Amino acid sequence: MFDFEVWLPLAVATFTIFSLLLLSLPSSYGAERRFVQNPDQSKIHVQVVVLGDIGRSPRIQYHALSIAKYGCCVDLIGYNVHGISVTPNWLKSERKWLFLLLAPFKVVHQTCSLYYALGYRTPPAKWLLVQNPPTIPTLLVAQLICFIRNTRLIIDWHNFGFSILGLKLGPTHPLVRISKLLEQTFSSKAYAHLVVSDAMKRALKEDWKLMDPVLPLHDRPFDHFQPLGESQRFEFLAQCPETAFAVDEIRRGMTKMLISSTSWTPDEDFSLLFNALVSYSDMAASTHSYLPKILAIITGKGPLKDAFVAKIRTATDEGRLKRVEIRTAWLSSEDYARLLASADLGVSLHTSSSGVDLPMKVVDMLGAGLPVVGWDKFEAWPELIQEGINGRGFHSSATLSNLLVALFGDDIQQLQNLRQGALDEGKRRWEDEWDPVAGKLLGLCR
């Protein structure tokens, strides 16, 4: 028998809770524009998002600057910006078993933080451009917010999230397979996709069956990466703490400067560079005494840095780096750009977890007119470096060591030719690439 006195309060409570939930949902794009009073509210709003440190995401920064250039209102969202809090240290671990134990708590923390930032700390937007990876929980939250707020989602693919997870857990781990399935599922409903290489477009369309538009938007250097004249170069080298001690030998050609930039993560094997430099030092101190010294500067921060610094210290103490000086540095973006322009050769150790992403650091080097040698055993590499034109490829520490000997001692003309190729490649800038692709997609360019 229906008990009216029991069910009525329950119905009222249920209706009240449901109404409160509806009222508490984030506002949708378009609703508030019917009553525009502030002129800024009539502009197109765009959310540009990375679930990470904005300072270490230059491509996302460039997107935001390019969109703002056309008068749009841009909310750049990342760690400690618009309410996304940095993941607490107690939720981080390099140990596999502890990583797996903490992962659910980390995902819950990031989900709440990202949802709050996108839904409540920023106004509704016409477009949401999100960096992938990280994939979990970024794509899920982004899809949910876009559904609630009537926003169009654009995924900016830097790599595949599941392939990076595979570096930590192994490619056949069940969580890696689950991550790939989630990445495929939550990316399939996006409005559009921007990718960093033609190889990535092929993988997404042929292997993942993503629908168009899937648009290659190759990384290009921003304006502050520029070549330097000789006087500017030596003026900077004399002021930079990492190079001041060697500036006279660099000027006289007795020392060559090599630079590599890294995030100190597992997808870059710095033992390749270390072993190559040890081999070079041995040859320069014995059979190839004509070879110049090398000043190798490695920039960046990351989890594997301390172990590498300890390895350098041990090798130096043992006398295995007599003709090589290795220093680490963390520079401002302006000084980093000038350091690239002042070096003789750039080295990329990016091995690509997916085979279809490209290292942004190489783009910056070319923008500064710096020739590059890099690990070339992945599909997308030829899209960035033309062998013998603006750089050279290697696939082992031995081949890297041989390249250093050739470029710094045996065939200096080759290094000069590669520098000219880098200068030519660096002439095409970010805006030249961005406007006809992303600008047109967003309706900002014809």
Give the pLDDT of residue 34: 47
The answer to whether residue 374 scores a pLDDT higher than 60 is yes
Q: Print the SS3 string covering 82-107.
A: CCECCCCHHHCCCCHHHHHHHHHHHH
Collapsed DSSP state (helix, strand, coil) of residue 394: strand
Judged by phi (left if over 0) then psi (alpha if -120 to 50, else beta), residue 333 lies in: alpha
Q: What is the mean pLDDT of residues 383-388?
A: 91
In this prediction, residue 412 carries a pLDDT of 78
Mind listing the pLDDT tens digit for each residue in 50-68? 998 888 888 999 999 999 9
Taking the C-alpha atoms of residue 41 and residue 33, their distance in angstroms, rounded to an integer, is 7
Confidence of residue 32 (pLDDT cuts 50, 70, 90): low
Residue 301 scores a pLDDT above 90: no
Distances, alpha carbon 112 to alpha carbons 85, 109, 341, in Å:
10, 6, 42
Peptide bond preceding 124 in cis form (omega within 30 of 0): no
Q: What is the pLDDT of residue 357?
A: 92
Average pLDDT, the chain: 87
Instruction: Evaluate if residue 207 carries a pLDDT over 70.
Output: yes
Whole-angstrom Cα Rg for the chain: 25
- Under a CB-based contact definition with an 8 Å cutoff, are residues 390 and 371 in contact? yes
Q: For residue 202, what pLDDT band results from cuts at 50, 70 and 90?
A: very high
In this structure, the strands spanning 127-132 and 152-157 are parallel
pLDDT at residue 174 above 50?
yes
Residue 300 pLDDT exceeds 90: no
Is the pLDDT at 376 greater than 60? The verdict is: yes
Q: What is the mean pLDDT of residues 207-229?
A: 92
pLDDT in tens, 269-298: 788 899 999 999 999 988 888 999 999 999
Query: What does the pLDDT read at residue 23?
Result: 47
Q: Does residue 22 surpass a pLDDT of 70?
A: no
The fraction of the chain above a pLDDT of 90, given in percent, is 58
Confidence of residue 135 (pLDDT cuts 50, 70, 90): very high
pLDDT interval class at 303 (50, 70, 90): confident
For residue 362, what are its two tokens?
């190489």
DSSP state of 40: G
Pairwise CA distance, residues 26 & 37, whole Å: 20
Any bridge partners for residue 295, and if so which? 257, 325
Of 94-103, 131-140, 218-227, 230-239, the one with minimum mean pLDDT is 94-103
Taking residues 17-29, what's their average pLDDT? 53
Rounded mean pLDDT, 87-107: 82
pTM for the full predicted model:
0.85
Positive or negative, the Cα torsion across 10, 13, 17, 22?
Answer: positive
Tell me which of 12-26, 186-200, 320-334 is least confident: 12-26
